Amino acid sequence: MGNRRNKPAIIASFVTFAATPAMLDPTLLRQNSAELAARLRETRGFEFDAAALEALESERKQIQIRTQELQNLRNTRSKAIGQAKAKGEDVSALMAEVAGFGEELKTSEHRLEDIRAQIEAIALVIPNIPHESVPLGQDEAHNAEQHRWGTPRAFDFAVKDHVELGARNGWLDGDTAAKLSGARFTVLRGQLARLHRALAQFMLDLHTGDHGYQETNVPLLVNADSMRGTGQLPKFEDDLFATTVGEGEHAHKRYLIPTSEVPLTNIVRDEIVEADALPLRMTAHSMCFRAEAGSHGRDTRGMIRQHQFEKVELVSITKPEESYEEHERMTRCAEVVLEKLGLPYRRVLLCTGDMGFAATKTFDLEVWLPSQDTYREISSCSNCESFQARRMQARWRNPATGKPELTHTLNGSGVAVGRALIAVMENYQEADGSITVPEALRPYMGGAERIE
């Protein structure tokens, strides 16, 4: 089942002996690696060397046993040395033996560190296991549509895309952005810039006022621990923008966030949350930065796929048994945004091969874009179960046992601001190039009914 509980004793034993911050249940990695490899191959198309992992684990156990034997022998001989000295006996042979134990112990400790590093390198790139309700498939062609809302508008004039609509009034300027920063950046001006801001404010007010999320303002630069905590590192480092702070041996990286999911979720890293504080629901409007490595030639026109964009993020921290109910609730909160804006959309359940690295189940919301005559992703809502929480050691105290257990973490777009702007521009365009302002946004636009 998807919402499995995790036993702290198992976690502790794995940390003690393997010291690997794995994201999956360590019992799967240690005891069922071949079965896990087969399952990930079938569902994710992901390959990892189970035999190598098993060999490393077997060697680790042997060295651990020998290390304990050496420690016991050293303690016994040390005690014998003390007794022999008290009797005035020669202890040189005993001392030489203890010195030998010390050298072997040192060698064993170095080898254990090396094994742990190798296990960690394998574990860190293993994706989450899909929930049993997720359809099997290799790519988006195998996703399962859940439902649709709204009817796409029938236009009696030639539809323009958002780039044409923005360029006519100088509202959307990719050329100036390219001069300033390069490709995949945009300058917004005038009423279109205000409409963009209005969308973000509207979403925040909706999620905090109606949906019960706590507004949170987070850093845009985070450390490597935060990126590892939510799964961006080490696998997706090429997709991140980074800067180096300090010099020489004191230098360290800071990463521009690809989404505020990273800082929001990491708020509970190394924390134990009391049961009555859950579910913890947070929302943030932030800039997001993505290098888009490997996406060359895809959606390069306009604002569909940018290096810098804005998003209103939703994050929930829950008890394990409540996470799938919360997943449905979160997705519904994102749907309400589109419904209040009057934007036709559909909900899609992603198949195993199309889900994100940390997700066990994901719903995408796709908004209708008239210029493309199709639905395009505008929100992605995922349940990660304990995958991120195990890495972060984000726990809650179970009142039934009084002991800490791993939480479940969820994240979703509530929604992407730039793509919402595109959808509003295209769905509310008029023949003269003006754009009708959706009623929900008019209070944020000074009452304006149209921008032109």
- 379 assigned ligand-binding residue: yes
419 among known catalytic residues = yes
**What's the one-letter identity of residue 119?**
I
- 96 assigned ligand-binding residue: no
Task: Name the helix (H) or strand (E) containing 214.
Answer: strand 214-215
- 42 assigned ligand-binding residue: no
Which residue of the set 377, 397, 434, 450 is catalytic? 377
- 260 assigned ligand-binding residue: yes
Which residue of the set 305, 376, 397, 450 is catalytic? 305
Token pair in block for residue 133: 């309700």
Three-state SS at 131? coil
| First CA to last CA distance, the chain | 54
- Using CA of residue 441, residue 446, residue 447, residue 452, what is the dihedral sign? negative
305 among known catalytic residues = yes
- 291 assigned ligand-binding residue: yes
Three-state SS at 45? coil
Which residue of the set 286, 323, 371, 380 is catalytic? 380
Four-point Cα dihedral 301, 306, 307, 308, nearest 10: 130
Q: 365 Cβ partners below 8 Å, 6+ apart?
A: 331, 334, 335, 338, 345, 346, 347, 348, 377, 378, 379, 380, 381, 415
Token pair in block for residue 43: 């569902």
Nearest-5° Cα angle at 141, 138 to 145? 115
Which residue of the set 30, 74, 77, 290 is catalytic? 290
Three-state SS at 174? helix
Which residue of the set 310, 347, 419, 426 is catalytic? 419
- 377 assigned ligand-binding residue: yes
DSSP assignment letter at 138:
S
For tokens 């003390």, the residue is 82
One DSSP character per residue, 245-275 reads ES-GGG-EEEEE-SSTHHHHHHTTTT-EEEG
- 323 assigned ligand-binding residue: no
434 among known catalytic residues = no
Nearest-5° Cα angle at 373, 367 to 377? 25
- 378 assigned ligand-binding residue: yes
DSSP assignment letter at 170:
T
Closest among 382, 387, 325 to 6, alpha carbons compared: 387
DSSP assignment letter at 349:
E
290 among known catalytic residues = yes
Q: Please identify every residue annotated as catalytic.
A: 290, 305, 377, 380, 419
Q: Which residues are annotated as a binding site?
A: 259-261, 290-292, 313, 377-380, 413
Q: Which residues are annotated as a binding site for L-serine?
A: 259-261, 313, 413
Q: Which residues are annotated as a binding site for ATP?
A: 290-292, 377-380
